[in-house]
Amino acid sequence: MLKIDNVTMKFGGVVAVNGFNCYIENGQVVGLIGPNGAGKTTIFNVVTGVYKPTEGEIIFDPEGKEEKISKLRPDQIAKLGICRTFQNIRLFKELSVVENVFIGSHLRLKSNVFSSIIRLPKYNNEERQMMEKAFYLLEKVGLYEEKNEKAFSLPYGKQRRLEIARALATEPKLLLLDEPAAGMNPQETQELMEFIAEIKEEFDLTIFLIEHHMEVVMGICEKILVLDHGTLISQGSPQEIQNDERVIEAYLGVE
């Protein structure tokens, strides 16, 4: 589904990512781990079009139609089926829960601006379908009862679910989760793991995630990539990664 081919990202003289290669197959849950400052979020920003890579290519191929996406804008990449959440939750906090999810559906809106201004029947029909979709997604993520509450009033764990629901409203094929368990207690973390497994099956998703909670990574990922100082130092199954001396050294150092 996704191939990152020899991608390098430089900021002036600083090399944040150096010759990164990986591929993600359809239906996989792939984890990206590494010490703080390793370049993990930079890779997410390159994949989603926030940054244009200095070198290399990114190819998205969800349905047998290869698309080179390295030079596309974030909105164009999202329309192809790649969406993300953020390490620091980015909700429209003063809007209601359902309005946050409703906004995500606008990416698939077919009516033009003129239709929306004068409220043509076609636009009204689309808007009604978008609201029904928002209610459906809130049911799936367990937030339907809070649909009219302000987003900022939700507990932290539910705000995470809301951000994921908004991402699902864009109808992604590949969902990128940037530290979804950050700030969660053990019970919330366990619930999140179960939730990610559920939405993967329910919405037929491929998932690429960054996470520092090793129990999450080891518990739900089929393949793990390890980044250190912008360079891929290891990849493999959870068992292989746990026993890789290079990974242990990157995290714990050596005497």
pLDDT, tens digit (0-9, with 9 covering 90-100), for 38-71 = 899 999 999 999 999 999 999 999 877 889 999 9
Whether residues 217 and 255 fall in one domain: yes
pLDDT score of 114? 63
Number of neighbours of residue 175 by Cβ within 10 angstroms: 24
Residue finishing a domain among 137, 152, 170:
170
Give 227-241 pLDDT, tens digit per residue: 999 999 999 999 999
Q: Measure the CA–CA gap between 134 and 35, rounded to whole angstroms.
A: 37
pLDDT at 243 over 90: no
Edge-first strand listing for the sheet containing 231-236: 82-84, 174-178, 206-210, 29-33, 223-228, 231-236
Packed helices 121-140 and 156-168: angle between N→C axes, nearest 10 degrees = 140
Share of the chain above pLDDT 90, in %: 62
Packed helices 186-202 and 156-168: angle between N→C axes, nearest 10 degrees = 10
Residue 246 in any domain: the answer is: yes
Strands (DSSP E) along 160-230, which ranges?
174-178, 206-210, 223-228
Q: Measure the CA–CA gap between 96 and 93, rounded to whole angstroms.
A: 8
Residue 87 in any domain: the answer is: no
pLDDT at 162 over 60: yes
Whether residues 72 and 187 fall in one domain: yes
Whether residues 76 and 178 fall in one domain: yes
pLDDT score of 116? 66
Residue finishing a domain among 170, 205, 235:
170
Amino acid at 247: V
Whether residues 31 and 102 fall in one domain: no
Whether residues 134 and 253 fall in one domain: no
Whether residues 177 and 166 fall in one domain: no
Residue 86 in any domain: the answer is: no
Amino acid at 214: M
Range of the domain at 133: 92-170
Number of domains into which the chain is organized? 2
Q: Measure the CA–CA gap between 57 and 46, rounded to whole angstroms.
A: 10
Across the range 164-171, mean pLDDT stands at: 94
Cβ–Cβ < 8 Å for 77, 48: yes
pTM, 2 dp: 0.88
Q: Measure the CA–CA gap between 3 and 90, rounded to whole angstroms.
A: 27
Cβ–Cβ < 8 Å for 99, 92: yes
Whether residues 157 and 207 fall in one domain: no
